Amino acid sequence: MAEFDFEAVVVGAGAVGLACGYALARRDLSVAVLEKEAVIGQGVSSRNSEVIHGGLYYPTGSLKARLCVRGRRALYAFCDAHKVNYDRCGKLVVATSPDDVERLEAILEQARTNDVEGMAQLTAAQAIAMEPELACYGALHSPQSGVLDSHGYMLALEGEIQAHGGAVVTSTPFEGATPLDGGGFSIRAGGEEPATLTCRYLVTAAGLFAQDAAALIEGFPKAEIPKAFYGKGIYFRLMGKAPFSRLIYPPPIHGALGTHYRRDLGGQAVFGPNLFWVDELDYSVDPDARAAFTDYIRKFWPAVPEEHLSPDYAGIRPKLHGPDDPQPDWRIDDATAHGLPGLVAMFGIESPGLTSSLALGEEIAARLEV
């Protein structure tokens, strides 16, 4: 049997790549996670809402539906075991117009189909009794939703990989792979000390660069690489006391869950992300969006003080669809899709990728049959 430098190489040390590394290391495989940046978790995993999603919305049978619920359960257990900070604060999905009430009923039905625990339908009065500053026409309560310290989580994953004898190597871009006769891959890694190494299994979890990573793999059929789209969203932070203790979400917008409220783990109120389409990875935040944000927030928080909303950060979703297309599922391509045994390539791992990361890791291990 061929000898490999590592049994598994994972490209990308975001939440998903690290969770894949952890899943493989737990199976006693020697693992190297390659990260092009100097620090782990600087990609999509550092520019999101840090919400632990219940798993309410995703279509029956989709990867998102299955892996979000499973991943969320595993994530709370992982956080407990590794002392990662979180707040299982619960979430209210709120009807901000009479028309939304019917949409809530559909979301409740989907949530129950998805096996989300503890969902309850509330009248407006019941919801307002829970969150007195709220305005709504009715709501759903999802007690399993929460907020996470995503960087603490990624550090704990890195620690687990290292404790199992694996390596997380930063400042080391993946620059190409060639399938080896008899199985496995030869990997070219760049950085200050470029190196070639071999592995039996290769997993790409490159976030916004997923398509570029796949294109660097010899023999990966170019026609199978999906087109990349960028769905940007920005956030505003409230200067002042947070008005709600639970997450507050109006029903989803087309292509995303849309602007919502969270109280972060520091106790501050954050609103976002909206969704617009960009061609470049540009993380600027337009302060002029404040008025539109205020109008949106006012629908569920009439007392929002516009002058206390301050532009905060932006995130970019690695999307597989454009503005007018239906939102597709994630893509997890194994050998049945691209014909290269030992390779799993992920594309379009947008929300709820953070919540689902541990389940994505288990899914990858299952696809590799390890």
Ligand X SMILES: Cc1cc2nc3c(=O)[nH]c(=O)nc-3n(C[C@H](O)[C@H](O)[C@H](O)COP(=O)(O)OP(=O)(O)OC[C@H]3O[C@@H](n4cnc5c(N)ncnc54)[C@H](O)[C@@H]3O)c2cc1C
Binding mask of the shown chain, residues 16 to 35, with x at each position contacting ligand X by CB under 6 A: xx----------------xx
Please list every residue from 63 through 82 that binds ligand X, using CB under 6 A. none
Binding footprint of ligand X, residue count (CB under 6 A): 41
- Contact between 114 and ligand X by CB under 6 A: the answer reads no
Number of other residues whose CB lies within 10 A of the CB of residue 196: 12
Q: Which is nearer to ligand X, 72 or 138 (CB)?
A: 72
Which CA distances in Å does 316 have to 55, 58, 63, 169?
Answer: 21, 20, 21, 24
Decide: residue 351, CB within 10 A, 0-12 exposed, 13-18 middle, 19+ buried. Answer: buried
Q: Which is nearer to ligand X, 260 or 338 (CB)?
A: 260
What's the closest the beta carbon of residue 85 comes to ligand X, in angstroms? Answer: 15
What's the closest the beta carbon of residue 181 comes to ligand X, in angstroms? Answer: 25
What's the closest the beta carbon of residue 260 comes to ligand X, in angstroms? Answer: 9
Alpha helices (H) in 216-341, listed in sequence order: 290-298, 335-338
Contact 267, 275 (CB under 8 A): no
Contact region with ligand X (CB under 6 A), list: 47-55, 119-127, 239-247, 295-303? 47-55
Alpha helices (H) in 33-181, listed in sequence order: 63-82, 100-113, 124-130, 150-163
Binding mask of the shown chain, residues 227 to 266, with x at each position contacting ligand X by CB under 6 A: ------x---------------------------------
Which of 10, 13, 136, 269 is close enough to bind ligand X by CB under 6 A?
A: 13
Q: How far apart are CA 169 and CA 79, in angstroms?
A: 24
Contact 240, 256 (CB under 8 A): no
What is the number of H-type helices and E-type strands within the chain? 9, 20
Binding site for ligand X (CB under 6 A): 11-17, 34-37, 42-45, 47-51, 53, 173-174, 205-209, 213, 233, 273, 315-317, 349-355
